[in-house]
Structure 1
Amino acid sequence: MTKREIYLVVATVLVMCIPMSILAYQSKQFSNLPSSVFDWNSIKAVKTKTGEKRQFFDSPTATLDNLECHVSTLNPGETAHPPHQHPEEELTIVKEGTVEVLVNGELKKVGTGSIIFSAANQLHNIKNAGTTPATYYAIKWKSAKTTNAVKTN
């Protein structure tokens, strides 16, 4: 084997290691969410311009392309975002406070313990309609059907 052939083999091995390393990193990064416990006190609250947010998880699962859960706290009078829509469905559970939500083109006011379901591609938003902070869980999921969800608006 010549010196040139040895260099060629070494270069080929090194070049092949790069994509293999990337694939290994991605498979670890996007592994399925295992059964887990997320302690409220261990999730860092990040200040936002409207209150704060705790990101609990955002990962694929054994049956979903992605499952995401965060908890947001809105200061009195604040809106999380303008009305928007996305192809995934979303479940919002009010932990405390009073919120006003856009559902099916109507504004509805609900309080602690209420559950809001936002269907795929439906305009929705949420606003703190009370005089104290309002906190809610937001849970979204993506499946094989998500990308094929029919737009209704």
Structure 2
Amino acid sequence: MKKRDIIVAICTAAIMCVPMAIIAHQQQVKANMPSTAFNWDSVKVVATKVGEKRQFFDAPTSTLDNLECHVTTLNPGELAHAPHQHPEEELTIVKEGTLEVLVNGELKIVGPGSVVFQSANTLHSIKNVGTTKAVYHAIKWKSNKTMK
């Protein structure tokens, strides 16, 4: 093999890496979530140290950069996590039990049917203050207005 042939082979390989890298990147980008019905019993239950979690979805949609929904079951007396904040807004819908939620610096008690909205970048937390398991849906979204 001549030096020229080796150079041509190397250049060809280098040029082919560009489209292959583009294709690999496109495959890593999540597709928009289509309209879907999620059956409660078909969503995998994952045990956590404070209860359990069902992850329904976590994907972009046609109007949002990302939409995420999970259901947490908290055992009595457990805190889902230490007070924290994040750039996306979050909606919590209580299905069962009694929760203490940190909202705008105040602790509030909420029960079944209650809805809690947490604005972006506000400190919040959730604790089960009841004597039975508490179950809640958490929904978060990111849009082009979500600060990164």
TM-score, L = length of structure 1: 0.87
Structure 1 residue runs of 5 or longer lacking an equivalent are 149-153
Following TM superposition, the consecutive aligned residue runs of length 4 or more in structure 1 with deviations greater than 6 angstroms are none
Letter in 1 for 2:39: D
Aligned residues: 145
Letter in 1 for 2:61: T
2:45 counterpart residue number = 45
Q: CA deviation at 1:6?
A: 5.4
Q: Calculate percent identity across the aligned residue pairs.
A: 61
TM-score, L = length of structure 2: 0.90
1:86 counterpart residue number = 86
Please give the secondary structure, in 2, of the residue aligned with 1:101: strand
Letter in 2 for 1:137: H
Please give the secondary structure, in 2, of the residue aligned with 1:67: strand
Q: Does 1:140 align with 2:140?
A: yes
Equivalent residues in 2 for 1:3-152, closer than 5 Å: 3-4=5-6, 7-8=9-10, 10-27=12-29, 30-147=30-147
Q: CA deviation at 1:13?
A: 5.0
Deviations 1:4-26 (A, max 9, x none): 46524642354234303312312
